[in-house]
Amino acid sequence: MGGTTEVDESMLTGESRPQFKQKNDHVFGGTINRHASIFVKCTKVPGETTSDMIYQLVEQTQMTKANIENVTDRVAKIFVPVIVATAVAVFLIWIVLSSTGIVVADPSAFPFSLNFALAVLIVSCPCAVGLAVPTATMVGTGVAAKRGILFKGSQIIESLSKARTFCFDKTGTLTTGELTVAQIIALGSEVTREDLLFFAVSIERGSNHPIARAVLSYAESQSISSVEPKKAQVKPGLGVVGVVNGRTVQLGNSECLSNTSQAALDVHREQIDRWQQQGATVIYLTLDEELSGVLVLTDTLKPTAEATIKYLTRCGHEVWVISGDHPTTVRAIASQLNIPADRVLGGVLPRDKQNKIKELRTHGEVVMVGDGMNDGPALAAASVGVALGSTSSHLAQYAAGVVVLNDSLTSVLVAVDLAKRITGRIKLNLIWAFVYNALFIPLAAGALWVPFAFTIPPPFAGLSELVSSVPVVIFSLLLRTYKPPSF
């Protein structure tokens, strides 16, 4: 977009404060421009917009079935034949008892016994069992969507409520991902800082990594233009490579450097270590495979990071940080959040992120929270992948089981809390349905006839739906009053 304004994005993110927007920011279809006129470039066609995605995901969740729902479906299926058999058995028992004179039938054995059998048929209610899961899921996913949290299936809600381990990506997830270029150092005399910035910004044109966004906005502030790179290729977790003005440019972490380039860095090693110990991200630019410059970028923790990690740790969850950035940088950021060094992994490629998640899953349900393309495999491998942020990559949103449309880490906690509430409500619904049937069917069958002459007359039995299904629907609807705890 062009211009500056404030946009109300609450329908997407649940955030009621208007969001400040300026040139090159994203605005979303369906949100409300509250302030000034802006120019907008449309990048999505109808059917692919963010709001379309929300509708599709909510619908998809409401259609899919959780394990517990499969169980209740099976119960509901055998419920009817079992009840018919019970009614026949009740009829036979009463007819035997009354015709042998053990109980006195009023007026005669046949209508007397038929009354009990009919009452059993009418009182029994498979609907309450069948409604328990879908009503709670439907109301719960709607409540979540209002807060910018999209669940992609009721199975996900079930897994999330049992989550044991939480893994976080660093850049863009624990940190704001709004990096700033703090230093540009030209190595050798061949290129100047301006040349370095020109090559860096040109090669990053095809990437939407937070580093690319930082380089782009820094170059703009320095009035450095860029050219379209050729054969540009993004290497997730490593960097970008391509040809700019006939020269092969590579920008990325030290894994991309040749042994000679590594050796050329030795003189700067101490300084680089110091930056990394402060949590800065250091990347290297090579021109025709020769190391030409170093870029130092600083990032800040999200304001919600500390509270989120503290809350998870207090609740006894295991918290990990798994990042592609240099291990020293990742440890520095993790230590600000009091995450022990043995739960911090740095310098991991997307595949290794995935392998770590698979390993952790052998101990219980694992939630992976990430934003980038590099997190895709890990998000898909986790019990529940959470794609966090309004600018999270499409691949992350596709691979994840939960999509959070705002940048707040506490949304992850809200998602977990809500998942627990939904599963809790499902359990309450099921308990109600079973207790109701276990109590009313024996009453209708005449369990209290002999001692108290008590029975449920069939006309009254017809009102039983009010006692069985209506409370289930009300319990589910009450989820609408959900307020997240303060974290």
Residues that bind Mg ion (CB under 5 A): 169, 171-172, 371-372
Based on the shown chain and the rule CB under 6 A, indicate whether residue 211 belongs to the binding site for ligand ADP.
yes
Whether 52 sits among the annotated catalytic residues: the reply is no
Which contiguous run of DSSP H or E holds residue 291?
A: strand 290-298
- The answer to whether 464 and 440 are in contact (CB under 8 A) is yes
Q: Of the two residues 69 and 407, which places its CB atom closer to Mg ion in the complex?
A: 407
Q: Of the two residues 126 and 372, which places its CB atom closer to Mg ion in the complex?
A: 372
Instruction: Tell me which residue of 14, 353, 367, 24 sits closest to 164, measured CA to CA.
Output: 367
Q: Amino acid letter at 309?
A: I
Among 61, 276, 323, 354, the residue binding ligand ADP under the rule CB under 6 A is 323
- Interior angle at CA 300, CA 352 and CA 268, nearest 5: 70
- The values of phi and psi at residue 459, to 5°, are -60, -35
Based on the shown chain and the rule CB under 6 A, indicate whether residue 240 belongs to the binding site for ligand ADP.
yes
Q: Where in 242-261 is the site for ligand ADP (CB under 6 A)?
A: 251-253
The listed partner (ligand ADP, Mg ion, none) that binds 15, CB under 5 to 8 Å by sort, is none
- The answer to whether 376 and 234 are in contact (CB under 8 A) is no
Task: From the candidates 169, 325, 375, 417, give the one annotated as an active-site residue.
Answer: 169
- Interior angle at CA 369, CA 329 and CA 206, nearest 5: 70
- The answer to whether 358 and 368 are in contact (CB under 8 A) is no
Task: State both tokens at 398.
Answer: 């596709």
Instruction: Tell me which residue of 120, 212, 71 sits closest to 461, measured CA to CA.
Output: 120
Q: Of the two residues 207 and 423, which places its CB atom closer to ligand ADP in the complex?
A: 207
Q: How many CB atoms lie within 10 A of CB 23?
A: 11
HSE of 461 in the Cβ direction (CA atoms, 13 Å)? 23
d(CA 37, CA 331): 44
CB of 332 to ligand ADP, least distance (A): 12
Among 5, 135, 155, 207, the residue binding ligand ADP under the rule CB under 6 A is 207
d(CA 357, CA 361): 6
CB of 325 to ligand ADP, least distance (A): 4
Based on the shown chain and the rule CB under 6 A, indicate whether residue 283 belongs to the binding site for ligand ADP.
yes
d(CA 158, CA 384): 10
d(CA 139, CA 135): 6
- The answer to whether 114 and 38 are in contact (CB under 8 A) is no
CB of 205 to ligand ADP, least distance (A): 10
Binding mask 126-165 for ligand ADP (x = CB under 6 A): ----------------------------------------
CB of 172 to Mg ion, least distance (A): 4
CB of 371 to Mg ion, least distance (A): 5
- Name the one range near ligand ADP by CB under 6 A: 19-27, 34-42, 209-217, 471-479: 209-217
CB of 175 to Mg ion, least distance (A): 8
Q: Of the two residues 10 and 374, which places its CB atom closer to ligand ADP in the complex?
A: 374
Binding mask 364-383 for ligand ADP (x = CB under 6 A): --------x-x---------
Nearest residue relative to ligand ADP (C-beta): 324
Task: State both tokens at 299.
Answer: 């990032």
Instruction: Tell me which residue of 393, 43, 48, 349 sits closest to 208, measured CA to CA.
Output: 393
CB of 476 to Mg ion, least distance (A): 36
Q: Where in 169-198 is the site for ligand ADP (CB under 6 A)?
A: 169-172
**List of residues contacting ligand ADP (CB under 6 A):** 169-172, 204, 207, 209, 211-212, 237-240, 251-253, 281, 283, 323-325, 372, 374
Q: Which residues are designated catalytic?
A: 169
